[in-house]
Amino acid sequence: MTEEQEVKQAPTSIIGKILLLGDAEVGKTCLLTRYTDDSFSTEYKTTIGIDFRIKRMFLSNQVEMKLQVWDTAGQERFRNISKAYVRGASAICLVYDVTKSSTFKNLHNHLSPETENPEVVKFIVGNKCEKDEERQVTFDEGKAFADEKGYEFREVSAASDTGVDNLFISVAKAIYRQKNPGSSLGWTGSASKFFRK
Ligand code: GDP
Ligand code: MG
């Protein structure tokens, strides 16, 4: 099949629900803000209520991807992530802090029957990678754990803006591939825009 034929068969707009999961203070809210606002704050704020942002991304063929990125809104402090939060997830990013090994060891606590579903795209994300001298989890340890689980692995830094855009572009591509098996459509990753719910 030529790419042109494939384009005609592709859906025009895909919604991908991406969940950010992980212990409190690993940097989930900062990653969301970095990706959607391109800003970073050192001030710690516990998010109140369920929060998500939408960012649009276009494929080279004008097929649109709407990424809904959900932030855990402080619920992770009480191990009380609501069902509404995880329901219908297309992808999960299990985030830990590379300078705090307990957050890495706790990753399994953030999986649930809904997110363990093989149709849900899974990424392990080590944040704060710019603090290399304070590292407690090496890149290889993170990668080995992800490989063992069959998940994707990325190290990022919301503070220094390292790998954040690439992470979400990779998640978007993985969601697209999950929903359109066998597709080889290209991506521009451009023309993205966000707006509040
Ligand atoms: P959340 O509880 O997982 O949502 O974590 P936050 O996004 O609120 O961040 C918790 C703390 O980690 C804040 O003080 C942030 O400034 C800090 N932080 C987040 N991302 C990074 C990063 O990439 N590097 C560093 N050094 N600090 C970060
Ligand atoms: Mg938060």
Mean confidence (pLDDT) of the chain: 83
Report whether pLDDT(121) > 50: yes
pLDDT tens by residue, 14-46 = 899 999 999 999 999 999 989 988 666 655 555
- Whether ligand 1 lies within 6 angstroms of the CB of 26 is answered as yes
- pLDDT over 90 percentage in the chain: 50
- pLDDT over 70 percentage in the chain: 77
Judge contact between 73 and 50, C-beta under 8 A: yes
Q: How far is the CA of 176 from the centre of ligand 2 (A)?
A: 27
Count: domains in the chain? 1
Q: How far is the CA of 105 from the centre of ligand 1 (A)?
A: 18
Q: What is the pLDDT of residue 89?
A: 94
Stated pTM of the model? 0.85
Q: Supply the Cα-derived Rg of the chain in whole angstroms.
A: 17
Pick the atom of ligand 1 nearest to 24's CA.
2
pLDDT tens by residue, 128-169 = 999 999 999 999 999 999 999 999 999 999 999 999 999 999
Report whether pLDDT(188) > 50: no
Closest ligand to Cα 160: 1
Report whether pLDDT(86) > 90: no
Range of the domain at 109: 3-195
Q: Report the CATH number that the domain containing residue 116 is assigned in CATH.
A: 3.40.50.300
Judge contact between 64 and 13, C-beta under 8 A: yes
CA distance 190 to 197: 21
